[in-house]
Amino acid sequence: MVISPRSMTKSPVALAREALDLGQNGLPLYGSARSRHDFTLAQLFAMLVLRQFFKTDYRGIVQLLEDLPRLRQTLSLKKVPHFTTLQKAQQRFEKRGFGRHCSTLLASAPPNWV
């Protein structure tokens, strides 16, 4: 998947939108046909990008998602995941080679953006 440079912002909502769009265009809808389908891979990807953006741990991004309804709305989250859901998603993304897309998206940002 090729990431095209777009106008960068300091807005976490704009980043969430871009990461979600990137995930929707480059990832399957769900990791497994038998999964619970609580969160799409694109939503998980976007939450992990936001975790890097905020430079926080898994519990921290879960708390931010609980506190920031606009982010939840942007990601179309019906509920906030447990922090272990994000930990496991990160491991699966890295195992499948998707983890580099998170880093690539943030690496293309200006230094003062992240």
Residue 89: how many CB atoms within 10 A of its CB?
21
- Phi/psi of residue 14, each to 5°? -65, -40
Select from 10, 19, 12, 112 the least CA-distant residue to 67. 12
Q: What is the pLDDT of residue 55?
A: 94
Q: What is the pLDDT of residue 64?
A: 97
What is the rounded CA–CA span in Å between residue 16 and residue 72?
A: 9
> What is the average pLDDT across 51-76?
96
Select from 1, 40, 26, 16 the least CA-distant residue to 106. 16
What is the rounded CA–CA span in Å between residue 55 and residue 34?
A: 32
Q: In this predicted structure, which of 13-17, 61-65, 78-82 has the lowest mean pLDDT?
A: 13-17
> What is the average pLDDT across 4-27?
79
Q: What is the pLDDT of residue 26?
A: 79
- CA distances, 4 to each of 8, 9, 15, 89, 102 (Å): 11, 15, 14, 24, 14
pLDDT tier at 51, thresholds 50, 70, 90: very high
> What is the average pLDDT across 79-96?
92
What is the rounded CA–CA span in Å between residue 12 and residue 105?
A: 13
pLDDT tier at 113, thresholds 50, 70, 90: very low
Q: Identify residue 2 by its one-letter amino acid code.
A: V
The residue ranking higher by pLDDT, 88 or 28, is 88
What is the rounded CA–CA span in Å between residue 80 and residue 64?
A: 10
